[in-house]
């Protein structure tokens, strides 16, 4: 009604109404800030021509970056004047926030979950070389001129296929199936896939820190447009490729590397052109053969090399 989407305008309209509640003022400021973000997102959708509904908060939350303390294993947050509410923290959380340089910036409290937002300024790791990480549907390959390692992720493809078959077997198509049952299997798939990627990316970053090598990644963009209906692939193949979690692997590698202080290099599409078909020995274009599956051979060097190993080595060289 008031067309308020900026933080200042929304504060002027709502702060006097919130003053009647007996709660610390910084909770009110954080609530106004969150509402401004929701309204700004809706305004952006309207500007782009998308259909929007009345904005609302999905779940009640208490967010603040002021007034809380962590003492004796508890998070103490002010509930009202001279009254604090104590929440016990787990052993794992206490170990993380007790590390050198870690600071708790804010917290988010919902009905079932407590999230602490932490920051750390780690010492920078001086890198002496680089290691390229090639992302594929069924594996992650990390390597350089000295060593190459494979991290197999075929289980993620099987998990995705099993989830799709289960959801497709549902005969009913109503709100309960879509929002409750199907979404449950989707969250289960995301959790299982994320755990497998976590194990692989954790090993990659730990090895890079031990050898003091910067991690080089290809900045994959526009991959979804390659696998659309009418491009010559069957439906099953397009489903597998469009369900590929290449962005999640990159996200995990980058935040784990930043937490330790390790450098991550992103190469653009132009900088990585031909990285998987260029011979790392002589620079000639590699030849393919259907009988060799994912292996390529060089007509100049007369050797057969794995396609993923070639890409990882070339990424490491170009990132260096």
pLDDT in tens, 84-94: 889 999 999 99
Query: pLDDT per residue over 89-140, tens digit each?
Result: 999 999 999 988 899 999 999 888 899 999 988 889 999 999 999 999 899 9
More confident residue, 58 or 238: 238
Contact 316, 264 (CB under 8 A): no
Residue 1 has pLDDT above 70, yes or no: no
Give every CB contact of residue 38 below 8 A, 6+ residues apart in sequence. Answer: 55, 56, 57
Least reliable range by pLDDT among 35-39, 174-178, 236-240? 174-178
Query: pLDDT per residue over 250-279, tens digit each?
Result: 999 999 999 999 999 999 988 998 888 899
DSSP 127-148: -SEEEEEEE-SSEEEEE-SS-E
Residue 209 has pLDDT above 70, yes or no: yes
Give the pLDDT confidence score for residue 101 in this predicted structure: 86
Residue 320 has pLDDT above 80, yes or no: yes
Mean pLDDT across 189-202: 95
Give the pLDDT confidence score for residue 2 in this predicted structure: 65
Give every CB contact of residue 314 below 8 A, 6+ residues apart in sequence. Answer: 132, 272, 275, 276, 278, 280
Strand partners, 76: 69, 86
Beta strands in the chain (DSSP E): 62-64, 69-71, 74-80, 83-88, 102-109, 114-120, 129-135, 139-143, 148-152, 213-218, 264-267, 287-288, 295-297, 304-306
DSSP symbol at 292: G
Residue in this structure with the two tokens 């508890």, named with its chain if needed: 74
More confident residue, 202 or 183: 202
Mean pLDDT across 204-226: 90
Residue 79 has pLDDT above 90, yes or no: no
Give the pLDDT confidence score for residue 187 in this predicted structure: 92
Which segments of 98-174 does DSSP mark as H helices, in order?
154-168
Mean pLDDT across 290-301: 83
Mean pLDDT across 137-162: 92
**Among residues of the chain, what percentage have pLDDT more than 90?**
42
More confident residue, 64 or 201: 201
Contact 105, 117 (CB under 8 A): yes
253 burial via Cβ count (<10 Å: 0-12, 13-18, 19+) = buried
More confident residue, 144 or 38: 144
Q: Chain-centre distance of CA 75, in angstroms?
A: 27
Give every CB contact of residue 69 below 8 A, 6+ residues apart in sequence. Answer: 75, 76
Distances (CA, A) of 232 to 107, 224, 237: 49, 14, 10
pTM (2 d.p.): 0.79
Domain boundaries, the chain: 7-48, 62-120, 129-158+189-319
Query: What band does 216 get if pLDDT is binned at 50, 70 and 90?
Result: very high
Cα–Cα–Cα angle for 10, 13, 14, rounded to 5 degrees: 85
Highest mean pLDDT among 4-8, 57-61, 144-148: 144-148
**Among residues of the chain, what percentage have pLDDT more than 70?**
99
Give the pLDDT confidence score for residue 134 in this predicted structure: 94
Q: Please tell me the distance from the alpha carbon of residue 294 to that of residue 284, in angstroms, as a whole number.
A: 18
CATH number of 129-158+189-319: 3.30.420
């Amino acid at each position: 009604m008031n067309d308020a989407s900026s933080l200042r305008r929304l504060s002027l309209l709502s702060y006097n109404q919130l003053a009647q509640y007996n709660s610390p003022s910084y909770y009110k400021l954080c609530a106004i800030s969150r509402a401004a973000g929701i309204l700004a997102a809706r305004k952006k959708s309207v500007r782009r021509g998308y259909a929007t509904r009345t904005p609302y908060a999905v779940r009640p939350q208490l967010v603040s970056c002021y007034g809380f303390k962590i003492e004796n294993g508890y998070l103490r947050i002010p509930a009202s004047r001279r009254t604090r509410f104590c929440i016990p923290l787990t052993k794992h959380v206490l170990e993380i926030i007790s590390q050198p340089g870690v600071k708790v910036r804010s917290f988010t409290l919902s009905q079932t979950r407590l999230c602490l937002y932490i920051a750390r300024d780690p010492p920078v790791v001086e890198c002496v070389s680089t290691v390229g990480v090639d992302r594929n549907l069924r594996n992650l390959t990390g390597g350089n001129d000295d060593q190459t390692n494979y991290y197999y992720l075929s289980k993620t493809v099987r998990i995705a296929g099993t989830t799709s078959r289960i959801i497709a077997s549902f005969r009913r198509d109503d709100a309960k199936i879509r929002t409750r049952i199907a979404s449950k299997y989707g969250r289960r798939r995301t959790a299982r896939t994320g755990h497998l990627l976590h194990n692989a990316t954790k090993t990659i970053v730990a090895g890079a820190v031990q050898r003091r090598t910067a991690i080089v990644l290809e900045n994959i963009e526009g991959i979804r447009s390659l696998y659309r209906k009418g491009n010559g692939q069957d439906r099953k193949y397009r489903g597998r490729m469009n369900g590929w979690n290449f962005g999640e692997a990159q996200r995990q590698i980058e935040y784990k590397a930043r937490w330790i202080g390790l450098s991550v290099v992103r190469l653009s599409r132009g900088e990585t052109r031909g990285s998987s078909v260029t011979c790392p020995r002589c620079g000639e274009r590699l030849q393919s053969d259907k009988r060799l599956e994912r292996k390529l051979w060089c007509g100049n060097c007369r050797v057969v090399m794995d396609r993923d190993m070639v890409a990882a080595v070339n990424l490491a060289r170009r990132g260096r």
